[in-house]
Amino acid sequence: MKRALGVLVALLVIVSATNNVQAQEQGDFRLGFRTGFYFRANAYAIGMYGTYGIRDWLNVEPGINYICKQNSTVDVYCDFQVPLEIAAYWHVYPIFGVSVHDIYDKRRDVDGWGAGLNIGLGTTYNMNDRWSLSAQAKWMGRVPLEHISTVVIYVGVDYNF
């Protein structure tokens, strides 16, 4: 928990210290596909997501990931992002959000639905006006308490409308 709070404070300092904060423009939409790995659950996932520019400085990203592990099914989430422009074609952003998921943990023999708080960091690289690559790493704090919190790493490809 102390590490998560440290990451959160560092991300807030970065956001507040940056003058050049830009997201995709308000009303812009991206649709993407990604693959990822849930470390503590030892599971791969494939998923789909959409990113919508709520404001020029804030994006929302709802998504769903199918977890490729026996007795696990899905991770449904909604994250908020504040993109920081590194270059005209490259953005880095902190991630804050929530998730609902069914991830089986064999080590603890825990099964069933849980919820979580997502905190992380992501990046988007625009290859051209329509296509971009993205990567994210986020920590999922999970409840009920018998569920183990996990770190998730994703890579994906987006189509910009």
Looking at the DSSP assignment, which residues form a beta bridge with residue 44?
37, 68
Count Cα neighbours of 65 within 13 Å in the Cβ-side half-sphere: 27
127-159: per-residue pLDDT in tens?
999 999 999 999 998 887 667 788 999 999 999
- Would you give the distance in Å from CA 14 to the centre of its chain? 18
Residue 11 in this model has a pLDDT that exceeds 70: no
The predicted structure's pLDDT at residue 17? 43
**2 falls in which pLDDT band (50, 70, 90)?**
low
Residue 64 in this model has a pLDDT that exceeds 90: yes
Residue 29 in this model has a pLDDT that exceeds 90: yes
The predicted structure's pLDDT at residue 97? 97
* Spatial distance between the Cα atoms of 73 and 65, rounded to a whole number of angstroms: 9
Angle value at C-alpha 116, between 126 and 39, nearest 5 degrees? 65
The predicted structure's pLDDT at residue 112? 73
CB 138 within 8 A of CB 78: no
CB 132 within 8 A of CB 114: no
Domains and CATH numbers, the chain: 2-160 (2.40.160.20)
The encoded tokens of residue 103 equal 């991830």
Global pTM value: 0.79
**Lowest mean pLDDT segment, chosen from 68-72, 113-117, 123-127, 149-153:** 68-72
CB 5 within 8 A of CB 126: no
> What average pLDDT does this structure show over 32-53?
93
The predicted structure's pLDDT at residue 19? 39
CB 141 within 8 A of CB 116: yes
- Please list the helix, strand and coil fractions of the chain in percent, rounded to the nearest 5, in that order: 10, 60, 30
* Spatial distance between the Cα atoms of 137 and 34, rounded to a whole number of angstroms: 12
The encoded tokens of residue 135 equal 């990567």
Most trustworthy range by pLDDT among 13-17, 45-49, 53-57: 45-49
Residue 5 in this model has a pLDDT that exceeds 70: no
